[in-house]
Structure 1
Amino acid sequence: MQHQSLSGSVSGIKPEKSWRVWWMLTRPHTLTAAFVPATLGTVLALQTGRIDIWLFIAMLVASILIQIGTNLFNEYFDFVRGLDNENSVGIGGAIVRHGMKPKTVLYTAYGLFAVSVLLGVYICMSSSWWLALIGLICMAVGYLYTGGPLPISYTPFGEIMSGVFMGMIIILISYYIQTGELTWNVFLISLPITILVGGINLSNNIRDLAGDKENGRKTLPILAGRKNAVHILSWAFIISYLLIGLYIVMGIVTVWSAIVLLSLPKPVKAIKEFKAKEKPAELMIAMKSTAQTNTFFGLLLAIGVLIHHFV
């Protein structure tokens, strides 16, 4: 299939379906990677006193916009490099399947990053201007994930980068802007979420292993092999739950945090699906369950913290 010029569209798009296409472009199953850390970081800050709700909203919206912008850059650069086609599996490929104009996708990504910058200015004015540098680094990582001469998505470091910048960093910033400080306990609590956010990325790379290999990528599943990649994902889930148990024993969190065990069916289902199926089109349930693990684990952990705070 021939790609048209970057300023043109590939095919017509029905207006009544355009909002659905834009919704798919955001890749909604990935947005919890921004929502959960921002919420958890703020809830942890609540233990030290009152929180500023407007700072929380600004941080939450900025994080989600950066995540969406990153997804749009992914869409655009995958098209530019010829990686997407009408038979591509997943919710990406809006340019080749639904006729979205490439430049529209690119400029929208830039626009979302620009709004994030404005929200960042408000956050910095209320806390510290050092956060501006961190925010710019986060946006650079989002752009360079699929953009630039050597995209992060072509390397085995995608899981680490996404976990750190969309998990740990968001939790730490969300906590800092409310309290003006950072603690080792908050850092430690951020680790399970960091691992689970990276797991979302890993599940995507497991599904796309064959196609990524054909396109010259060197992702973790490609280097480790599919079977080992599934084992790594399994251990990522196990370690995340074990860390909460360890933190309860150490007194870093209370026994209320054991409520995260209610989310356990999700990772179990994800691993079963990855072991039972290999075709990319059959792995959407596995990927969805992986993303839901982060969602439910993080929100239940936040609920556990809130229960302890108010009881």
Structure 2
Amino acid sequence: MPTPVRSNIGTVRYKRDWRVWWRLLRPHTLTAAFIPVSVGTVLAVDEEPIHSPLFIAMLVASLFIQAATNMFNEYYDYKRGLDTPESVGIGGAIVRDGISPKTVLLLAWSFFAIAMLLGVYICANSSWWLAVIGTVCMAAGYFYTGGPVPIAYTPFGELAAGFFMGFTIILISFFIQTGTITTTPMLVSVPISILVGAILLANNIRDLDGDKKSGRKTLAILLGRQRAIWLLGSMFIASFLWIASLVFSKTISPWTLLVFFSIPKAWQATKGFVGKTKPIEMMPAMKATAQTNTQFGFLLVVGLFIHYWIQ
């Protein structure tokens, strides 16, 4: 499941240019699609030569699903009255920029349709069983904020996002290149899954007060703000320790320890939430959480690539 970030609004402003449509995509969330596909593909280098068209199709399909999930999020938050002119954040194409709700919904379904067409190509060149898995992933993206009981209203948002966007996408990306699944991509997917979930947790920490008023039961609400921040920090620590343990056990190359260069960003993200209660004050910390996922994933890919390159 692609990772969704709830839409929040600043000042009402009806403006139509490319930046409005760009914000609608929630570009800071798209790395949660790019990184897992890249990790799964690079891990496959040790098994088979990379099939570039399959990699590109998988990458573009994942980006479209992520963007569509963000649009469903935008639409249903608006329909349920969660987006107001007083809210804070990157979203708000409907309330702030005046884009029609029907247009947002139509774009979301159109993006899903494009992803499905790319999925047909992927299945035709790998396995049609992936059609079932892909459909489940898309359904999870829709039901994050759609349906009678949205996942976003429960404590399972972080778990669902990490499982579908970390674990599942990495394994699919590996499988379409190799035709099999091994232990290594399963183990490497764990820290990526944790960091994808961390993006959702950071979002829910920021929106804790508003979510509580709207009746949501997110993990951040159940834990309370302080414990949720501690959990976020623990997720960062677990991700780094997991990579270290894989290196120590000789499962992956020592080059992957490059991910430790992303520790300052993880520290910035965690520290940025401490002592803050207003959403606008927590925006930099939320951004730093997404950047941690990006830096960690990119450095992991670089480390794996260097290992295969020098072999």
**Between Structure 1 and Structure 2, how many residues are aligned?**
299
Find the counterpart in structure 2 of residue 113 from structure 1.
112
Find the counterpart in structure 2 of residue 86 from structure 1.
85
Determine whether 1:33 maps to 2:25. no
SS for the counterpart of 1:221 is helix
Find the counterpart in structure 1 of residue 149 from structure 2.
150
Between the aligned partners of 1:279 and 1:195, the Cα distance in structure 2 is 25
SS for the counterpart of 1:96 is coil
Find the counterpart in structure 2 of residue 247 from structure 1.
246
Shift of 1:87: 1.2
Inter-CA distance 201–12: structure 2 relative to 1 (3 Å threshold): closer
Between the aligned partners of 1:115 and 1:13, the Cα distance in structure 2 is 29
Look up the equivalent residue of 1:297 and give its one-letter code.
Answer: F
Find the counterpart in structure 2 of residue 198 from structure 1.
197
Between the aligned partners of 1:280 and 1:193, the Cα distance in structure 2 is 26
Shift of 1:283: 1.2
Deviations 1:270-294 (A, max 9, x none): 0110114221011111011101111
Between the aligned partners of 2:144 and 2:164, the Cα distance in structure 1 is 11
Between the aligned partners of 1:152 and 1:35, the Cα distance in structure 2 is 23
Between the aligned partners of 1:109 and 1:14, the Cα distance in structure 2 is 20
Between the aligned partners of 1:45 and 1:237, the Cα distance in structure 2 is 26
Look up the equivalent residue of 1:157 and give its one-letter code.
Answer: F
Between the aligned partners of 2:180 and 2:160, the Cα distance in structure 1 is 24
Determine whether 1:291 maps to 2:290. yes
Shift of 1:256: 0.8
Q: Which runs of 5+ in 1 are unaligned?
A: 1-10
The answer (yes or no) to whether the contact 2:262–2:296 under 8 Å persists in 1 is yes
Shift of 1:254: 1.3
The answer (yes or no) to whether the contact 2:257–2:303 under 8 Å persists in 1 is yes
Shift of 1:181: 0.4
SS for the counterpart of 2:87 is coil
Between the aligned partners of 2:278 and 2:116, the Cα distance in structure 1 is 40
Higher mean C-alpha displacement, 253-262 vs 152-161: 253-262
Determine whether 1:13 maps to 2:14. yes
Shift of 1:49: 2.6
Deviations 1:13-51 (A, max 9, x none): 333xx3111111111111111000001100000111310
Look up the equivalent residue of 1:57 and give its one-letter code.
Answer: I
Between the aligned partners of 1:141 and 1:14, the Cα distance in structure 2 is 32
- TM-score normalised by length of structure 2: 0.95
Look up the equivalent residue of 1:306 and give its one-letter code.
Answer: F
Q: Which runs of 5+ in 2 are unaligned?
A: 1-11
SS for the counterpart of 1:264 is helix
Find the counterpart in structure 1 of residue 308 from structure 2.
309
Between the aligned partners of 2:260 and 2:13, the Cα distance in structure 1 is 47
Between the aligned partners of 1:258 and 1:129, the Cα distance in structure 2 is 36
SS for the counterpart of 1:84 is coil
Between the aligned partners of 1:49 and 1:62, the Cα distance in structure 2 is 22
Between the aligned partners of 2:176 and 2:162, the Cα distance in structure 1 is 20
Shift of 1:227: 0.4
Look up the equivalent residue of 2:267 and give its one-letter code.
Answer: V
Inter-CA distance 150–263: structure 2 relative to 1 (3 Å threshold): same
Shift of 1:12: 7.7
Between the aligned partners of 2:78 and 2:301, the Cα distance in structure 1 is 38
Find the counterpart in structure 1 of residue 263 from structure 2.
264
SS for the counterpart of 2:95 is helix
Determine whether 1:238 maps to 2:237. yes
Find the counterpart in structure 2 of residue 64 from structure 1.
63
SS for the counterpart of 1:98 is coil
Higher mean C-alpha displacement, 285-294 vs 102-111: 285-294
Between the aligned partners of 2:281 and 2:63, the Cα distance in structure 1 is 28
The answer (yes or no) to whether the contact 2:47–2:178 under 8 Å persists in 1 is yes
Deviations 1:242-293 (A, max 9, x none): 0011001111111111111111111000011011422101111101110111
Identity %: 59
Between the aligned partners of 2:189 and 2:15, the Cα distance in structure 1 is 43
The answer (yes or no) to whether the contact 2:255–2:306 under 8 Å persists in 1 is yes
4+ long deviations beyond 6 Å: none
SS for the counterpart of 1:89 is coil
Find the counterpart in structure 1 of residue 186 from structure 2.
187
Between the aligned partners of 1:158 and 1:241, the Cα distance in structure 2 is 22
Find the counterpart in structure 2 of residue 54 from structure 1.
53
Look up the equivalent residue of 1:13 and give its one-letter code.
Answer: Y
